[in-house]
Amino acid sequence: MKPYYGLNCGYRHIDCTASYGNEQEVGEALTERVGRVTTRCFITSKLWNITDVEDACKKSSSYLGLNYLELYLMHWPMAMLRRPDGTMYYEDTHYRDTWTAMEKLVDNGLVKAIGLSNFNARQIDDILSIAKHKPVVNQVVSSMSSISHCCL
């Protein structure tokens, strides 16, 4: 149970996503650590750009064993869904519609903050033009082997 070992080493920010299937493992690690963590953990999760935003958020919170998420990110600006056989396919849901649904999560207390992941500057400007709640972050990959110039 890798998240458990990370918490034992002092990790206080855990970044997970339903699409990677790691939320339940993180939730189990958090449950194991209840009462022994001296500093609060900051939990980030992500959703695909999909139409059932509230249901996805509630499912993530349930897997994690939380009443709310600290930070919820839209993982990609395009919508991808999983077929029963596990393969992914493109769904025609615009990221603006997903953003509007994510804002309702803030309004309803299901998340503290919302943000983006893997968006470029034009897409961020597009979100900012309609946002009631502005994104608090645009998370991008940053490593020597994967430089995201378009997102910086």
DSSP the chain: -HHHHHHHTT--EEE--GGGT-HHHHHHHHHHHTTT-SS--EEEEEE-S-S-HHHHHHHHHHHHT-SSEEEEEE--SSEEEE-TTS-EEEE---HHHHHHHHHHHHHTTSEEEEEEES--HHHHHHHHHH-SS--S-EE--EETTEE-GGG-
Active site residue 20: yes
Which of 20, 68, 90, 95 is the catalytic position? Answer: 20
Positions annotated as catalytic residues are 20
